[in-house]
Chain A
C-alpha cells in the first residue's frame, strides 16, 4: 500500500498549517482511497527536536516519527512562513533526520502565511531544502494566505490543492528518481578499495 506521511509544523491551536495539511490529506484520499495517510504534528515533538540538535540522536518517540518518514512513499510537508522562511521548528526537525532518509521520496510542499507576499518562500526556502535531501519535489506548491480561507479565494485554493495532489499521485505512479535510501556500506568505493590495495590510485 502506498504510504503518505503529512508533516505539519503549525504551532497555534487551530493552526492554519494543520488545516491546510488536512485539506491536502482529504484531497489525496478522494483521488486515491487506497493510500494510507498518517499525520504528524511537530509541536508535541518540539523539545525532542531541540534535544536531538544538541545530542545528535533522536529520543525514542522522535525516532518513531523518523521511522515513519523512512517507511513513507511520499510526504506532504506544511510550514507556516515566519520572517520570510519556514519556521525554526520545521527546519530543526529536518536537520535531525538521517542524511538519506528522503532520497527519492516524493514531497509535496505547502505553507501558510499572513499575506500572499510570503508565497515565494516556498520556492526560495523549502524547495532547496528538499532538493538538498534528494527528494522528488512536486512542481506545484500550495500556499494559503488569509485571502484563500475566505469565500473569494476558497475555490482557487481548492484547485491548487487538486492540481498539486494530481501531480503527487502521478509522480508516485511512475518510477520517481529511481533512487532510495540504502543502508548498505559501499565496499567498492575508491577509498574502501585502497585499504586492501595501497598501490591503487
Chain B
C-alpha cells in the first residue's frame, strides 16, 4: 500500500529542441511517450498520466489507446490522464472507454477530468465553448450515473436524452474508476470534486503557490461540508517540474536554453526569477527534495505528486536521465512525506482499496458508518 503516489504527467507536445534545432515527428513523439511511461515503472514511480489534446503541436488525442498499450507492457504502473476533456467528449463514450481500460489493466488506472482551455476545440466536437463550466457539470453528472447505475434514463441540455440505457462494460468489480478533477481557477470544478468526494488536482507548474492555495483550501472545506471527512482528509494531487543534475550548476547551465525557449514561459522572466517564484526546481537532487517537501507545508498533506519531465523540446535521452534521477530521490521523498503525515490522512486511492471499502460498507450493519 502506498500512502502517497509519485509519478509523471505529460502534455504530449512536439516542441523543437532549441539546441539541436530539430523537431521530432509525431510518430517518434508517441513512441517516446510509451518509452517514458515504461521507464517510469522501471525507476519505481507509481503513476503515468497523459494529457488529451486535439490540436498541434500536441499528439495525445486518444488517451485510452495509449494507456492500454502502455498497460500491456507494464505491471504495476497506475495509468491516468492529465486531463481527460469532460467538456468536449461524450460522457457515454468516456464511460465506455475508461471502463474498458479499467478491465484491460485490472483496475490499474484512474482519470483526471479537465475542461481544456482552447475555445476553438469545442465546435470541432459539436459544443459551445462559452458553456464550458455548464458542460463540465452536466457531462460529469451523467458520467457518474452511467458508472454507478446499471440502467440510466437521463435528460439534459447538451446531448440527446437516454432511455433505459446501460453503458458497457460495467465498471470492474462494480466500482467505477477513481476520478480527479483538475482546475486552477474555477471554483465550480472544486465544488464538483467536493460534492462527489472525488480527488482535486492543481497542476502547480506555472504559477506561484498562492494561486493554487485558495482553491485547494476551498475544495478541502467543501469536501468536509458534504460529509466525506475532515478538510485535511480530502484527496489532493499536485503537479510540479524540475531539472536535476548531481551538480546544481550543471543543471542550471544545461536547462537554461530549454527554459529560455519553452513555449509557456520562454522569452519572459529569467530562469532564476521563475524558479524563485514558482514550484520549478533547477538544481541538485537535494534542492529538488527540499522544494518538493515544502508543497505539503503550503497545501496540506496530499495523496499524489506528478511531475512534468518531457517538455520544452528536451531530447528523449535527457528525459530518461531525469527519470533515473527522480527514481534515485524517490525513497527519500516517500520517507520524508510519510514521516510528516498524520495517521488519519487517507492513502492515495487505488482500485483494490476502493473495492475493499465498498465491500466493508456492504457488510456493515444498517446505520453504521464505515470510513474508507
Q: Which residues of A contact B (CB under 8 A)?
A: 50-51, 54-57, 59-60, 185-187, 191-192, 194-196, 198
CB pair B133 A57 closer than 8 Å: no
CB pair A57 B187 closer than 8 Å: no
Question: Measured between alpha carbons, how far is A60 from B133 in the docked complex, in Å?
Answer: 31
Give the residue of B134, B191, B195, B269 whose beta carbon is less than 8 angstroms from that of A55.
Answer: B269
CB pair B137 A195 closer than 8 Å: yes
CB pair A191 B141 closer than 8 Å: no
CB pair A195 B273 closer than 8 Å: no
Asked whether B58 is an interface residue with its Cβ less than 8 Å from the other chain, the reply is no
Q: State the majority secondary structure of interface residues on B.
A: helix
Give the residue of B138, B195, B207 whose beta carbon is less than 8 angstroms from that of A57.
Answer: B207
Give the residue of B188, B264, B274, B278 whose beta carbon is less than 8 angstroms from that of A192.
Answer: B188
- Given A57-B277, A192-B188, A196-B226, 19 extra CB contacts under 8 A: A51-B268, A54-B265, A54-B267, A55-B206, A55-B264, A55-B268, A56-B207, A57-B208, A59-B273, A60-B277, A185-B187, A185-B218, A191-B188, A192-B191, A194-B137, A195-B137, A195-B188, A196-B195, A198-B141
* A-facing residues in B180-229 (Cβ within 8 Å): 187-188, 191-192, 195, 206-208, 211, 218, 226
Q: A55-B206, A56-B207, A185-B218 are in contact. Are A195 and B192 (CB under 8 A)?
A: yes
Nearest-Cβ distance from residue B147 to partner chain A, whole angstroms: 15
- Closest 3 A/B residue pairs (Cβ): A54-B268, A51-B269, A185-B187
CB pair A57 B211 closer than 8 Å: yes
Of all chain A residues, which has the CB nearest B264? A55
Of all chain B residues, which has the CB nearest A196? B195
Nearest-Cβ distance from residue B192 to partner chain A, whole angstroms: 5
Of all chain A residues, which has the CB nearest B276? A60
Question: Measured between alpha carbons, how far is A187 from B221 in the docked complex, in Å?
Answer: 12
Q: State the majority secondary structure of interface residues on A.
A: helix
* Number of A-B residue pairs at CB separation under 8 A: 49
Chain B residues, Cβ within 8 Å of A186: 187
Of all chain A residues, which has the CB nearest B207? A57
Chain B residues, Cβ within 8 Å of A198: 138, 141
Chain A residues, Cβ within 8 Å of B264: 55
Chain B residues, Cβ within 8 Å of A196: 195, 226
Chain A residues, Cβ within 8 Å of B267: 54
Q: Which residues of B contact A (CB under 8 A)?
A: 133-134, 137-138, 141, 187-188, 191-192, 195, 206-208, 211, 218, 226, 264-265, 267-269, 273-274, 277-278
Question: Measured between alpha carbons, how far is A56 from B265 in the docked complex, in Å?
Answer: 9
- Give 22 pairs: A residue, B residue, CB < 8 Å, sorted on A: A50-B268, A54-B265, A54-B269, A55-B265, A56-B206, A56-B207, A57-B207, A57-B208, A57-B278, A59-B277, A185-B218, A186-B187, A187-B191, A191-B133, A191-B188, A192-B188, A194-B137, A195-B137, A195-B188, A195-B191, A195-B195, A198-B141
Question: Measured between alpha carbons, how far is A60 from B210 in the docked complex, in Å?
Answer: 11
Question: Measured between alpha carbons, how far is A192 from B211 in the docked complex, in Å?
Answer: 21
Chain A residues, Cβ within 8 Å of B141: 198
Nearest-Cβ distance from residue A43 to partner chain B, whole angstroms: 18
CB pair B269 A192 closer than 8 Å: no
Chain B residues, Cβ within 8 Å of A194: 134, 137
Q: A56-B207, A57-B207 are in contact. Are A191 and B269 (CB under 8 A)?
A: no
Question: Measured between alpha carbons, how far is A192 from B191 in the docked complex, in Å?
Answer: 7
Chain B residues, Cβ within 8 Å of A191: 133-134, 137, 188
Chain B residues, Cβ within 8 Å of A185: 187, 218
Nearest-Cβ distance from residue A162 to partner chain B, whole angstroms: 42
Nearest-Cβ distance from residue A95 to partner chain B, whole angstroms: 14
Nearest-Cβ distance from residue A170 to partner chain B, whole angstroms: 36
Chain A residues, Cβ within 8 Å of B138: 198
Chain B residues, Cβ within 8 Å of A195: 137, 188, 191-192, 195
Question: Measured between alpha carbons, how far is A118 from B290 in the docked complex, in Å?
Answer: 56
CB pair B192 A55 closer than 8 Å: no
Highest count of chain B CB atoms <10 Å: which of A185, A192, A195, A196: A195
Chain A residues, Cβ within 8 Å of B265: 54-55
Question: Measured between alpha carbons, how far is A50 from B265 in the docked complex, in Å?
Answer: 12
Question: Measured between alpha carbons, how far is A29 from B141 in the docked complex, in Å?
Answer: 58
Chain A residues, Cβ within 8 Å of B211: 57
Of all chain B residues, which has the CB nearest A54? B268
Chain B residues, Cβ within 8 Å of A54: 265, 267-269
CB pair B277 A192 closer than 8 Å: no
Question: Measured between alpha carbons, how far is A195 from B226 in the docked complex, in Å?
Answer: 12
Question: Measured between alpha carbons, how far is A191 from B264 in the docked complex, in Å?
Answer: 31
Question: Measured between alpha carbons, how far is A21 from B187 in the docked complex, in Å?
Answer: 39
Chain A residues, Cβ within 8 Å of B207: 55-57
Highest count of chain B CB atoms <10 Å: which of A54, A59, A191: A191
